[in-house]
Amino acid sequence: MRETKPETWSLPEAAARLRSGEISSRELTISCFKRIHEHDGNIGAFLCLTEASALLAADASDERRETKQTLGLLDGVPVAVKDMILTEGVPTTAGSKILEGYRPPYDGTVVAKLKSAGAVMMGKLNQDEFAMGSSTESSAYKLCKNPWDFYRTPGGSSGGSAAAVAAGFVFGTLGTDTGGSIRQPASFCGIAGIKPTYGRVSRQGVVAYASSLDQVGPFAKDVSGAAIMLQAIAGHDARDSTSVKQAVPDYLQALTGDVKGLKIGIPREYFIEGLDAEVRDSVQKSIAALQASGAEIIDVSLPHTEHAVATYYVIATAEAASNLSRYDGVRFGPRLGDQNGLLSMYEETRGQLFGPEVKRRIMLGTYVLSAGYYDAYYLRAQKVRRLFADDFKNAFQNVDVIVCPTTPTPAFGIGEKSDDPLQMYLNDIFTVSANLAGLPAMSLLTGFSKQGLPLGTQIIGRPFDESTLMNAAFAVEQTLNIERDLGW
Amino acid sequence: MIFAAAEVRKLARLARLSLSDEEVSSMQHHLGEVTKYVDSLQKINVDQVEPMTHAVPLDLPLRVDEARPGVGRLGLVSSAGYEDGLIKVPKIIE
């Protein structure tokens, strides 16, 4: 029977089987590692596996279950995190050679929270170097392939996090999203991925890319799995001054599927020329599903959308140039060129160990921050950023959530855009706005193309109202009831 | 538009990046192309608009002034190289 194969289970299904005693956490963990060993050679989702500690954690979970001290839904469930997130004693490279061999002395808050919820940490996931990319092709270690089509990318930058869930290697993962790095790979890999509101989840112990935009969030096959993961990591953290003191609601309870009277905004600027017809159809199906469930559909305008990518690249690269100055050969990773003095050490370590895309962004960021250009680029981009926030504020006066495409096309081919950085950047057109405005947004599976590629729909919500947006996503998911079968 | 090689080299020096001649040449084109693209921002009227630095209003919380166990000096700089418990770096004053 197909259902008995753990790789086909969603996170809630795995949790239910652990709870009923149908399978132990040790058995489930071993079965996940078996699948990883069989198939990850083709996919490339993991940069590092932590088998010994995972089995210890699984045994501890089984013991808790036996003594009726289970910690909750995630107890005993195999999960993994993007290599941007610090893990005590476990290599953390952010996909870069400049952090090769770095073993952090502590866990990032989100990892500590997953562990204290009883989740079994299976390893670290592949990504674009320092989360700079939309295809995981800028990983300094290896390519990651889309589980639905090995000639295509899984998206990025959290490509490994999305591919690992889609491939049935683990049940939930964490990624980071600075301009779409959770939602775009979730869409390309046919799963659910949430970028929470800026400030909802602690970034303490997460490698910084662009600090005013970065946010950690979960992936799972379905909306309720993602809600369970988000529940575990959300909340204020005194060690991250950008995390916000806001009560965290019960997300699972919010998933009623009842959207009667919910006002759904459709931004006309997102249905542009160049939007793939099948992507458009799948978004239209999501909208129709919501309407059939009693939601009200309202046309809205986000007039600055065409400037989103430009604004994003000025702000993100400026912040990146500043954040990445800490990688200087002194404290982390390998050190090169030190026999010729300090400046040579800095320049050689950075010049040789950062990859091409990281160097491009550091150079652009340095340029937009440099004397004479700061006002024209960086300051101006910060002003335009406010216009984005105002666009959304205006729209959310009339609607509860916004529904739109996640990406202009389904997953693109490996190598298809890697020679043209600007084309790669433009793929983020529909996702960067939510980061600029700090809003929660998610992508979920809403169809397949004729070629068998997953198609996603994005739902954007009001600040700190992840519940409403996840419930809208849940309603779409329930109505469309899309079957997924990888075929392997 | 392409950037002058000298300008790319100056930026690379500011960013503390050694670049090969080939990288300088590719960066001349890339920076030219991307700045041309982001120049679209110059068309937007931003008079009277306050810059937005963060998505949420930030205060500056102070933590309670009490000692907590840290990770230790050597734990923080895992791969720097040590001598007598001290971190080794090149001479900084020539």
Question: Torsion angle, CA of A45/A46/A52/A53, rounded to 10 degrees?
Answer: -90
Residue A2 has pLDDT above 50, yes or no: no
Query: Hey, of A314, A324, A359, which one would you mutate to test binding to chain B, going by the most B CBs within 10 A of its CB?
Result: A359
Residues above pLDDT 70, as percent of chain B = 89
Whether chain B has a CB inside 8 Å of the CB on A276: the answer is no
* Mean confidence (pLDDT) of chain A: 96
A82 catalytic? Reply is yes
Yes or no, beta carbons of A359 and B17 under 8 Å apart:
yes
Query: To the nearest whole angstrom, how far is the Cα of A347 from the nearest Cα of chain B?
Result: 4
pLDDT at B78: 58
Could you give the CA distance from residue B13 to residue B18 in angstroms, rounded to a whole number? 7
Whether chain A has a CB inside 8 Å of the CB on B48: the answer is no
Confidence of residue B75 (pLDDT cuts 50, 70, 90): low
Task: Summarize pLDDT for A169-225 with one digit per residue, the tens.
Answer: 999 999 999 999 999 999 999 999 999 999 999 999 999 999 999 999 999 999 999
Q: Which residue among A24, A82, A158, A443 is the active-site one?
A: A82
Q: Which phi and psi (to 5°) does residue A173 adopt?
A: -140, 165
CB A154 within 8 A of CB A188: yes
Domain map (residue ranges) of chain A:
2-265+398-480, 306-383
C-beta neighbour count of A237 within 10 angstroms: 21
Query: Hey, of A340, A354, A366, which one would you mutate to test binding to chain B, going by the most B CBs within 10 A of its CB?
Result: A366
Q: Which phi and psi (to 5°) does residue A454 adopt?
A: -65, 150
Which residues is A457 bridged to in the sheet? A405, A444
Look at domain A2-265+398-480 and name its CATH class: alpha beta
Query: To the nearest whole angstrom, how far is the Cα of A231 from the nearest Cα of chain B?
Result: 21
Could you give the CA distance from residue A307 to residue A326 in angstroms, rounded to a whole number? 30
Domain map (residue ranges) of chain B:
1-43
Whether chain B has a CB inside 8 Å of the CB on A343: the answer is yes
pLDDT at A382: 97
| Strand, helix or coil for residue A357 | helix
Yes or no, beta carbons of A363 and B58 under 8 Å apart:
no
C-beta neighbour count of A416 within 10 angstroms: 16
DSSP 8-state code for residue A158: S
CA A229 to chain centroid, in Å, comes to 12
Chain A contact set for B56 (CB, 8 A):
197-199, 242, 244, 438, 463
| ipTM for this model | 0.92
Per-residue pLDDT, averaged over A377-403, amounts to: 97
Could you give the CA distance from residue A467 to residue A95 in angstroms, rounded to a whole number? 32
3-state helix, strand, coil in chain A (%, to 5): 45, 15, 40
Chain A contact set for B54 (CB, 8 A):
198, 212, 242, 438
Tell which CATH architecture fits domain B1-43. Orthogonal Bundle (1.10)
Task: Summarize pLDDT for A136-154 with one digit per residue, the tens.
Answer: 999 999 999 999 999 999 9
Yes or no, beta carbons of A241 and B44 under 8 Å apart:
no
pLDDT at A54: 98
Tokens of A281: 């159809």
| Strand, helix or coil for residue A268 | helix
Yes or no, beta carbons of B40 and A307 under 8 Å apart:
yes
On the 0-12 / 13-18 / 19+ scale of CB atoms within 10 A, A108 is buried
Which residues is A49 bridged to in the sheet? A123
